[in-house]
Amino acid sequence: MKKLWFVFIYLFFSSLSATNAQWDLRYPDIPADFINSLVFTSELNGFFVNEGGGVIQTTDGGNMWNLKDFFQDQNLYELKFIDEQKGFAYVSKNVIYPGDISLIYTTDAGDTWNESGTALWGALTFLPISENRMIQATNYGIQTLNNFYGNWQTTYNIPTFLAGDTLYYQWEEAYGSIFEFDLLNNGNILAIGNSWNARYYNQLSDSVSFILRSIDSGESWDTLWCDLPYELKTISFINDQVGWIAGEQNRIYKTIDGGANWTLQYVDSLFQYWPIIEQIFALDEMNIYGSTLGGFIRSTDGGNSWQSSSFPDYNSLKIFFKNPLVGYAYGSDLLKTTDGGISWNRVSRSIKDQIIKIDFVNTLKGWALSYDKLYVTTDGGFNWQPQFSYNGGIYDEWGLEFVDSLKGYIIGSEQAYTTIDGGIIWDSIAMANDEKFFGGDVDYYNSQLGLLCNIYKESVPGSNIYDIPVVLLTTDGGLNWIKRIYTINAEYGGFKKIRFVDPEHIYGINFRGLWLSSDTAKTWQKISDEYYFLGSVSFDFINGNDGCYSDVGYNINFTTNAGVSWMDYELSKYVFVNDYQLVDKDVFGDYRIFAAGNDGRILKYIIDNSSPDTYPNTYTSLDLHSISLYMEDRTPHLWVGGDGFSILHSVTEIVSDIDEKENIVMKDFTLSQNYPNPFNPTTKIRWQSPIGGWQTLKVYDVLGNEVATLVNEYKNAGSYEVNFDASKVSSGIYFYQLQAGSFIETKKMLLLK
């Protein structure tokens, strides 16, 4: 019983402390990923899903939205509820990786979301009919699934034709696709599609669009309607008889007999450059709304007359209306109207911008750089204010560096700026007439020694051809700059990133490799093997000898001798890395590598030859561009910035040198946090004992029941590591407890399957 109480006491206190293994999304207030689908299940309860894998919920009618659940790397494409309690969202992906899911569901009004084993990888759209039945449209027709297990059964095949040249080669093509299902009040299901492919191959010119009907929950289908030489792709019914369809040439048709006959109600020439209605939304018999690739239309008299308007600063958005006045437009952003669509406002209170560089000088103050603005935070990244607008230019390289809380630099793609008052006032760094910035980077070794790139000089004055790369060195804190011409060919390109580790170790990277200068930027030696970087161009060094880089995204190259030799570590996932941060050794003497990359990926890798690479949740699929590290005592604080003004923060394991490690081993028992955490299904547990003795390491569930005994034997003084395989237990919180004599310590870990 003592152990059981200890587990619950530990659960309480451990919940008050930060975990080292996770990242929190500090900004924006609503994830900025593209919103694919939005629904309200009641007046107060609503959800949307996005490309990043997020399920975002409101419980107050849409005033506040919060991230409810998240499925990393899963593009949640379409969300549908069969009642207020039960809902489904399926995943749309072109490339499937091990561990990917295709369907999530809730049975408790969205309070929890679970992964389903149901496969919808080929779905164009889907329709859950009940708890036990679902249909999907694929490239080849319509399929049904009963009880959410077993195989899909084809109940309708889209007609096909032979394409190609009869004299050479022919192949079979489907006439078109089904775009949307609609479940009517009487239980009938309508499916709208069009024969776009057959029209493309000149197989037909009329009767392009069609509507199928099923009266037996999708078991069989008949053609309800087939007419018009236009591609219609969206459908919305308010009851069994009255509905609307819309699509090409901004045409809207209405039916009052369940879809057997249709009458043209609207043709719009206002949006002539985007002649298609993306979505039709019928709220009731009088109020119908539509979104096009160029704006918004609405009718308040059953479709007899229509008003057109545009979404502010947006092209293509979908819509959902709760009542005639309150509605939402969603896609690249979330907008709300309270006057029936006459005016629209952003729901998010956060700044809408793309972050390319980020830098923090303590745990509270930091700066974020976009393509033309600088922002500042004084609370660790939860809130941001614009501080400076600059000439970002046209070249795809920018730099940001704050030497301390007052002195900082911005490298635009055509101009560089400096401040000495924390960013209140910025001055341009003067260049000669025959010199020009082409983006680059800046880094300081200390308060006086710094290096700035990427400047180009004309080899022929007045030619406007800048072909001689130059770096600028300062020895007096930026008051004066010494020009150093590269000794490498200009065709290699200037340095995209530099690291001023010490005067004998300055590193720079460009598209032809990683370079080292041992004489304060006078000469440079290539230390990487690649002839040309095919992928990302980033690296980091923690000191003069130890550093890392990658080029193609499937590996990390690590050196301990300033690039004389490299160790190649293969990754389990592809990561297009935009920035690296190498964190000093932990108490076990291992370096930690963090990488920010495209598609919302953050990589963590421990250089110990045994730990796997891990990819924590980032709550976004948007590209992440920059990492900043600040050491508070021995605790590393990390921030990552990227597209959508995404700002993430994490605190990782404390830093310790070898002497400190030995002292810890000799003086105290230490039970480390398992790694990775969360995990699935295996994780590593490390501990150290200063003396020999009988030791036990056990795993418990939240009720205090023993799940596994990992160690139960005599151990000499030293450091140990053991694997815990949780493949036979369910997801949830578990505790592992080390007992050695009078020493007892328990830690929490999270299994996510």
Give the model's pLDDT for residue 407: 96
More confident residue, 739 or 294: 739
pTM: 0.82
Tally of CB atoms within 10 A around 331 = 20
CATH number of 40's domain: 2.40.10
The pLDDT of residue 573: 83
Of 115, 150, 183, the last residue of a domain is 115
Class of residue 632 by CB neighbours under 10 A (exposed 0-12, middle 13-18, buried 19+): exposed
Residues in the chain: 753
Predicted local distance difference test score (pLDDT) of residue 271? 53
Residue with tokens 């009907």: 213
The answer to whether the CB of 468 falls within 8 A of the CB of 456 is: yes
Rounded CA separation 192/94 (Å): 23
Q: What is the pLDDT of residue 659?
A: 45
Do both 663 and 715 map to the same domain?
Answer: yes
**Rounded to whole angstroms, how far apart are CA atoms 106 and 49?**
13
Q: State the DSSP H helix or E strand holding residue 596, giving kind and residue range, or none if neither.
A: strand 591-597
Expressed as residue numbers, the domain containing 730 is: 659-751
DSSP classification of residue 34: P
Virtual CA dihedral for 265, 271, 276, 277, nearest 10 degrees?
A: -60
Last residue of a domain, one of 87, 115, 143: 115
- Is 292 domain-assigned? no
Q: Strand 366-369 to strand 357-360: parallel, antiparallel, or no bridges (unpaired)? A: antiparallel
Rounded Cα–Cα distance for residues 78 and 136 (Å): 12
CB of 206 closer than 8 Å to CB of 229: yes
Look up the CATH number of the domain holding residue 515. 2.130.10.10
Domain count, the chain: 3
In a domain, 155, yes or no: no
Looking at the fold, whether 417 and 495 belong to one and the same domain comes out as yes
Residue 589's SS3 state is coil
Question: Is residue 72 within 8 Å of residue 648, measured between CB atoms?
Answer: no
Q: In this predicted model, what pLDDT tens digit does every residue of 554-588 receive, in sequence order?
A: 789 999 999 999 998 888 888 889 999 999 888 77
Residue 226, both tokens: 């087939």
Strand order in the sheet with 318-321: 318-321, 327-330, 334-337, 345-346
Q: Are residues 364 and 501 in the same domain?
A: yes
Say which amino acid occupies 589. Answer: G
What's the pLDDT at 534? 55
Residue 227 lies in a domain: no
- Taking only the tens place, the pLDDT of each residue in 457-473 is 888 888 888 888 888 99
- pLDDT for 571 equals 86
* Residue 340 belongs to some domain of the structure: no
* pLDDT per residue as tens digits for the range 132-180: 899 999 999 999 998 777 789 999 999 999 998 877 888 999 999 999 9
The answer to whether residues 668 and 609 belong to one domain is: no
Say whether both 626 and 672 belong to one domain.
no
- The verdict on 503 and 444 lying in the same domain is yes
Sheet of 35-40: strand order equals 35-40, 46-50, 54-58, 66-70
- 579 forms beta bridges with 596
Do residues 595 and 663 share a domain?
no
On whether both 621 and 727 belong to a single domain, the answer is: no
What is the Cα–Cα distance from 601 to 615, expressed in whole angstroms? 7
pLDDT above 90 as % of the chain: 57
Residue 265 inside a domain? The answer is: no
Tokens of 623: 């590209």
* Residue 677 pLDDT: 82
Average pLDDT of the segment spanning 248-274 = 83
Tokens coding 712 = 């139960």
- 463 and 516 fall within a common domain: yes
Residue 291: which of 234, 229, 230 has the closest Cα?
Answer: 234
- What is residue 414's DSSP assignment? S
Cα–Cα distance for residue pair 272/255, rounded to 1 Å:
26
Task: Name the more confident of 276 and 13.
Answer: 276
- Of 269-283, 291-305, 714-728, 729-743, least confident by mean pLDDT is 269-283
**pLDDT over threshold 50, residue 2:** no
Helix (H) or strand (E) holding 359: strand 357-360
Whether omega for the bond prior to residue 676 falls within 30 degrees of 0, making it cis, is yes
Note whether 598 and 680 are same-domain residues.
no
Alpha-carbon Rg for the chain in angstroms: 30
Check pLDDT > 50 for residue 5: no
502/530: higher pLDDT: 502
Give the per-residue pLDDT at 18: 35
Quick check: 438 pLDDT over 90? no
DSSP state of 10: H
Category of 379 on φ-ψ map: left (φ > 0), alpha (ψ -120 to 50) or beta: alpha
pLDDT class of 493 with cuts at 50, 70, 90:
low
Residue 4 placed within a domain: no
Cβ-Cβ contacts under 8 Å for 703 (sequence gap 6 or more): 4
Residue 216 domain flag = no
**Dihedral sign, Cα of residue 194, residue 196, residue 202, residue 205:** positive
Torsion-angle region of residue 302: left (phi > 0), alpha (psi -120 to 50) or beta?
Answer: left
Q: Where are the beta strands (DSSP E) in 475-552?
A: 482-485, 497-502, 505-510, 513-517, 525-526, 538-541, 547-550
Q: Report the pLDDT value the prediction gives residue 150, as an integer from 0 to 100.
A: 74
Residue 335 has pLDDT above 80, yes or no: yes
Q: Is residue 173 part of a domain?
A: no
- Identify which of 468, 510, 475 has the alpha carbon closest to the alpha carbon of residue 489: 468
Averaged pLDDT, 369-394: 91
Boundary (domain end) residue, out of 600, 623, 652: 652
Q: Cβ distance 438 to 425 under 8 Å?
A: no
Indicate the pLDDT class of residue 8, thresholds 50, 70 and 90: very low
480 and 573 fall within a common domain: yes
Q: Are 622 and 720 found together in one domain?
A: no
Integer Cα distance of 77 and 610 in angstroms:
37
